[in-house]
Structure 1
Amino acid sequence: MDWMQLVVLSLLQGLTEFLPISSSAHLILVPVLTSWEDQGLAFDVALHIGSLAAVVLYFRQDLLGMTRSWTRSLVTRRLDEDARLAWAVILGTIPVGLAGLLLKDWIATELRGPLVMAWTLIGFGLLLGYADWQRRGNRSEHQMNWKDVAVIAFAQALALIPGTSRSGITITAALLMGLSREGAARFSFLLSIPVITLAGLLETRGLLQEAQAVDWSAIFWGALLSGVSAYLCIHYFLAFIKRIGMQPFVVYRLLLGGLLLYFFW
């Protein structure tokens, strides 16, 4: 793997994991626009580790408070706002986890095509634009009720369809349920922690079943670049959407979907 491939793939993972623009759509374009060989499963695992480290580091204080309150709630059976948020993240992961176990092979064979990605980019992009345009709520992630959590959780399961974007669909659902832009994005990022962890564990399992040489230099730099870009992405995205909202990402999704239609239709 040359340095250009390492840098591009690492930045793509770090940025598209959290922006509402679909990582799968970008990764399918890489072999179309370049002559690069497949980067290998070990490198994919490293990129996931970098992204996971970034979101955990960014939300470290929130996660510490949530963990303490959640642990205390097991004993006292009383929920403060941090305990409720912790339970929301846990429960919000169940639908996508079950859907992944039940539908993974079918999705990989039936819905992996670039045209599916193109139309989901466009369709869910327009839905994101509508949700942001009509938003009327200003609640934070701490003010969600269980109905909000259920809707967002089942929306997250739709992210298994390539091109949907996990962050995009969860932010869309949260906005439609009345959360503020920042609250929707923060809850989406917190939801990413168990999802990225599960995806990384599945890839690690596959890696352990393969006998292949590992380029430890590429692993180190890939994880580092993915982590740094993901951390900066989270920080600036939260600041950006307060002022401008989601519409630039909607336009980007429409253009990217159109590009996929141009190449593959």
Structure 2
Amino acid sequence: MQWIEVVVLALIQGLTEFLPVSSSAHLLLVPLFTDWPDQGLVFDIAVHFGSLLAVIFYFRRDLAALIRGWLGSLLGRGINPEARLAWAIIWATIPVGIVGLLIKDVVETSMRSGYFMGYSLIGFGLLLGYADWRYTRKYANDTAVNNADEYHLSKTQIIVIGLFQALALIPGTSRSGITITAALLMGVNREASARFSFLLSIPVIVLAAGLQTVDVMMQPMPIPWFQLLVATALSALSAYICIRLFLAVIRRIGMQPFVFYRIVLGAYLLYSFY
């Protein structure tokens, strides 16, 4: 890969991984404006690892508490809020893990067209817009809802968010977008929705990168380690900045700007691949 490819693709991955706009759709835009070849599985693993490092570093104190609480629950010390959230992340990850194993081949072949992604961007974008509008109309003035955090999710909310997350396997959906959509529909405030979505990304990225690593190990190839290290660092830095900014403004701006952006991007993909 050329260095310009490494920089641009790593930044695109980092900046779009945690926004509700679909990182895969943005990576699909690159061939429309360049003659760059596909970056390959090894590069995908590197930039996803960068995103993983970013979310782990941002939530490092929360994750330490979650791990302590979860281990304590296994040792019979009871369920505290941290243990409860840790179990919520585990339970909400199971559906996407099962569905991913079942339809992995279909997703990677027949669903990865620009035309398909265009419809996904628009359709799931409109659903996100409805969820945000419904939350504003129904819960915006509810103090209890607005003051609640991800530690207070009910079992029903956790199950629904987990089931919705399985839809993220559809290219163009956006994993963060669909989980935030589900949380808003279930009456979770915007900030808690986003934080839970970001925490959910950790096991999902680990599972996805693990499957990709297995595929790479079965196809020996020369690995450009220095380029991959730079790509990982750029992806991690841009993803970390994105997480900080998104959580800082989401309560005020809501989801509608992202909905508008998704519709425009989806329409462009449909036009380009028609």
Deviates more, 1:34-43 or 1:160-169: 34-43
Q: Give the secondary-structure state (helix, strand or coil) at the position aligned to 1:170.
A: helix
Task: After superposition, give the CA deviation of every residue in 1:156-180 in whole Å (9 maximum; x if it has no partner).
Answer: 0000011110000000000111111
- State the 1:133 CA deviation: 1.6
Of 210, 218, 234, the residue aligned with 1:209 is 218
- State the 1:77 CA deviation: 5.8
- Partners of 1:119 and 1:38 in 2: how far apart? 23
- Counterpart in 1 of 2:257? 248
- Partners of 1:15 and 1:140 in 2: how far apart? 25
Q: Which amino acid aligns with 1:23?
A: S
Q: Give the secondary-structure state (helix, strand or coil) at the position aligned to 1:76.
A: coil
The answer to whether 1:237 aligns with 2:246 is yes
Task: After superposition, give the CA deviation of every residue in 1:60-98 in whole Å (9 maximum; x if it has no partner).
Answer: 000000110111111226211111100000111100000
Written as runs of structure 1 = structure 2, the 5 A alignment for 1:73-222 is 73-76=73-76, 78-135=78-135, 136=139, 137-138=145-146, 139-222=148-231
Task: After superposition, give the CA deviation of every residue in 1:86-119 in whole Å (9 maximum; x if it has no partner).
Answer: 0000111100000000111122333222222111
- Counterpart in 2 of 1:224? 233
The answer to whether 1:22 aligns with 2:22 is yes
- Partners of 2:116 and 2:82 in 1: how far apart? 38
- Partners of 2:114 and 2:38 in 1: how far apart? 17
Of 254, 258, 267, the residue aligned with 1:258 is 267
- Partners of 1:20 and 1:215 in 2: how far apart? 31
Any unmatched runs of 5+ in structure 1? none
- Partners of 2:75 and 2:31 in 1: how far apart? 52
Q: Which amino acid aligns with 1:65?
A: A
Q: Give the secondary-structure state (helix, strand or coil) at the position aligned to 1:46.
A: helix
- Partners of 2:45 and 2:75 in 1: how far apart? 36
TM-score, normalised to structure 1's length?
0.97
Q: Which amino acid aligns with 1:183?
A: A
Q: Which amino acid aligns with 2:90?
A: I
- What is the count of residue pairs matched by the alignment? 265
- Partners of 1:111 and 1:219 in 2: how far apart? 27
- Partners of 2:105 and 2:217 in 1: how far apart? 20
- Partners of 2:124 and 2:38 in 1: how far apart? 28
- Partners of 2:229 and 2:110 in 1: how far apart? 34
CA RMSD of aligned residues (A): 1.1
- Counterpart in 1 of 2:2? 2
Deviates more, 1:197-206 or 1:163-172: 197-206
- State the 1:220 CA deviation: 0.9
- Partners of 2:98 and 2:208 in 1: how far apart? 13
- Partners of 2:23 and 2:5 in 1: how far apart? 16
- Partners of 2:207 and 2:69 in 1: how far apart? 23
- Partners of 1:32 and 1:166 in 2: how far apart? 23
- Counterpart in 1 of 2:59? 59
Any unmatched runs of 5+ in structure 2? 140-144
